[in-house]
């Protein structure tokens, strides 16, 4: 019996298999006007194809809790009701295919206001729909990036409220799972790491202070997110720095706290907060970080990072290294990965009636 195609239940939500789609920005929303940040036909077709392909859970790309929380002007957002209505079209279709719809709630922090990646992804100014990035400290992400405006305590509290408001809208939009983005060098990750957080107030310095924002966001979201629905947290398990960075030890310690605050699963990635670091990229290179959290805590985990074939994915789940796998680039290449993997493993997966010839 395939481990990859066993259902997985968190709270009252059952995900039909362990083949999941992580958040992957499409940089394809309108940059301004009444439809700014709202999903459009591209987003619908993109996610619908993966649902028809049998993916058990789709976590919609980083959706900003405020306009200035976008990575680029072309990112999705969930700060207004126009966006909610547009998301409903997607969640209805995903649900109709047996796929659980999830959404990642995000704030880009100092890495905000950049161009689309295929145009170079460089920082942009007001003449290209850009704005002033925000951060825990006035430290630019990399050479050529602007110095972010240091957030005041009042502004930090406002952002915590924005995450809660976004969670309410996500629920209204039909999402079953919410994920808080605490990885890849974006705002929450910036507060967690001493590499990017040089504050001397209650939000900086000690481990307890640096984790304060993340836990306040979790508490605020959990307060409005229904008890019967799961809450995920995405983390960069390491900054890949030899010193003065967030570490795997920190991640294990923090995982236990996240569970105490109502997080149901840790989505384990790495990196993104320090420029120019060397990352030993190879198939499954981030899986050991997820496996360590699973071995040393009681918090369920999902693994991500160059997981590209059926046998590899099956072994990760069957060996107990993770409870599920998140396939990013492979699902971009092959929207029907789950259906093909099920056929290889002799397992059952949802197939649309219209695709009956492919069974």
Element (H, E) at 178: strand 177-182
Residue with tokens 């990399």: 142
- How far apart CA 328 and CA 248 sit, in angstroms, is 22
DSSP SS3 for 180 = strand
Q: How far apart are CA 70 and CA 74, in angstroms?
A: 8
Angle at 62 between CA 145 and CA 220, to 5 degrees: 105
Q: Which residues of 74-99 are buried (b: 16+ CB within 10 A; e: fewer)?
A: bbbbbbeeebbebbebbbebbeebbb
Q: 27 an active-site residue?
A: no
Residue 33, C-beta contacts closer than 8 angstroms, at least 6 positions apart = none
CB 160 within 8 A of CB 174: no
CB-CB neighbours of 316 under 10 Å: 24
Active-site residue (options: 186, 203, 207, 355): 186
Both structure tokens of 319: 């060996």
Q: Tell me the DSSP string of 9-66.
A: EETTEEES-SEEE-------SBSSSTTBT---HHHHHHHHHHHHTT-SEEEEEEEESS
| Residue 350 contacts residue 97 (beta carbons within 8 Å) | yes
Which residue numbers are catalytic? 186
């Amino acid at each position: 019996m395939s481990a990859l195609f066993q259902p997985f239940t968190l709270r009252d939500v059952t995900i039909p298999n362990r083949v999941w789609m992580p958040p992957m920005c499409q940089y394809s929303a309108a940059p301004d006007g009444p439809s700014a940040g709202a999903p459009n036909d591209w987003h619908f077709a993109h996610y619908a194809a993966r649902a028809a392909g049998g993916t058990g859970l789709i976590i919609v790309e980083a959706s900003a809790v405020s306009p200035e929380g976008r990575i680029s002007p072309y990112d999705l957002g969930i700060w207004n009701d126009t966006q909610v209505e547009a998301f409903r079209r997607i969640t209805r279709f995903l649900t109709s295919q047996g796929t659980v719809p999830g959404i990642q709630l995000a704030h880009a922090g100092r890495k905000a206001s950049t161009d689309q990646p295929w145009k170079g992804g460089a920082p942009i100014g007001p003449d290209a729909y850009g704005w002033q990035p925000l951060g825990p400290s006035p430290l630019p992400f990399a050479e050529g990036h602007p110095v972010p405006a240091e957030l005041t305590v009042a502004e930090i509290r406002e952002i915590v409220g924005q995450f809660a408001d976004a969670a309410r809208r996500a629920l209204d939009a039909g999402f079953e799972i919410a994920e808080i983005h605490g990885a890849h060098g974006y705002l929450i990750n910036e507060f967690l790491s001493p590499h990017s957080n040089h504050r001397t107030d209650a939000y900086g310095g000690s481990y307890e202070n640096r984790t304060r924002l993340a836990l306040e966001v979790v508490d605020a979201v959990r307060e409005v997110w229904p008890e019967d629905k799961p809450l995920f947290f995405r983390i960069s398990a390491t900054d890949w720095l030899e010193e003065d960075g967030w570490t795997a030890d920190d991640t294990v310690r923090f995982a236990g706290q996240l569970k105490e605050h109502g997080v149901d699963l840790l989505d384990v990635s790495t990196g993104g907060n320090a420029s120019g670091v060397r990352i030993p990229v190879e198939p499954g290179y981030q899986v050991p970080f997820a496996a360590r959290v699973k071995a040393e805590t009681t918090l369920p985990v999902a693994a991500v990072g160059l997981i590209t074939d059926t046998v590899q994915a099956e072994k990760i789940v069957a060996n107990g290294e993770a409870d599920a796998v998140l396939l990013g680039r492979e699902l971009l290449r092959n929207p029907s990965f789950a259906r093909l993997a099920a056929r290889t493993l002799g397992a059952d997966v949802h197939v649309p009636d219209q695709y009956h010839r492919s069974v």
